Structure 1
């Protein structure tokens, strides 16, 4: 049913929770995982340190998935996660995207309840992906 499951990860506990869900689904459907980490185009950190951090995040997902017998394809990219996530997911040829409602930057939320933090609040990248993805998106909370 799902050949490739994309899981965007940002190094937060939220991202790792989404990866755990993706691994469970991949086991059930004998799928591959496309682990995606985006290095933001404009960062105050050095590119080398950002790249090393991204490699470590992807390696953690790969190790856990490999222990479960799941093949992982790592994607470390420089882009704008808010603007480019749909394109990135399209390029992985994913049949399903598993992403957490919240990311490492908890300041960028879209709330469906005006000016109120609630269970309906999700991160801006997740919200944009839900609206624009042509494949199913599983939002992990």
Structure 2
């Protein structure tokens, strides 16, 4: 049913949670995982530091998936995740995208009264991907 399942990961607990679900689905459908990490085009960190961090994030996903018997194709790209995620997903030739409602930059969704992420809000990258994707998107909450 799904040959390639794309899972954008940003190094947050939310991203790893999505990867776990993508791996479970991949096991059931004998699918491959396209693990995607996007390096920000404009960052205050050095490119080498960002690249090392991205490699470590993807390696963690690959190790988990390989332990589960799932093949992973890693994609470490420099782009704007908000603007380019649809294009990136299309380039992976994914049949399904598994993405969390929130990412590493979820602080704009924090409820100041409760100091936690609201269940009714989603991040900007996830929201745009849901609206524009040509393939099904599984939103993890």
Sort the TM-score into its range (normalised by shorter chain).
over 0.9
Question: 1:50 corresponds to which residue?
Answer: 50
Deviation for aligned residue 1:120:
1.6
Alignment check: 8 A CA contact 1:108 1:124 kept: no
**Cα deviation per residue 1:52-85 (whole Å; 9 max; x = unaligned)?**
0000000000000000000000000000000000
- Say yes or no: does 1:83 pair with 2:83: yes
**Cα deviation per residue 1:75-129 (whole Å; 9 max; x = unaligned)?**
00000000000000000000000000000001355xxxxxxx7422000000000
CA distance in 2 between counterparts of 1:119 and 1:100 reads: 12
What is the RMSD computed on CA atoms of the aligned residues? 0.9
CA distance in 2 between counterparts of 1:139 and 1:66 reads: 23
Instruction: Give secondary structure in 2 for the equivalent of 1:69.
Output: coil
TM-score by length of 2: 0.93
Question: 1:8 corresponds to which residue?
Answer: 8
User: Following superposition of structure 1 onto structure 2, how do residues 1-141 of structure 1 map, counting pairs within 5 Å?
Assistant: 1-109=1-109, 118-141=118-141
Q: How many residues align?
A: 134
Instruction: Give secondary structure in 2 for the equivalent of 1:138.
Output: strand
Alignment check: 8 A CA contact 1:40 1:80 kept: yes
CA distance in 1 between counterparts of 2:88 and 2:72 reads: 16
Instruction: Give secondary structure in 2 for the equivalent of 1:10.
Output: coil
CA distance in 1 between counterparts of 2:139 and 2:108 reads: 16
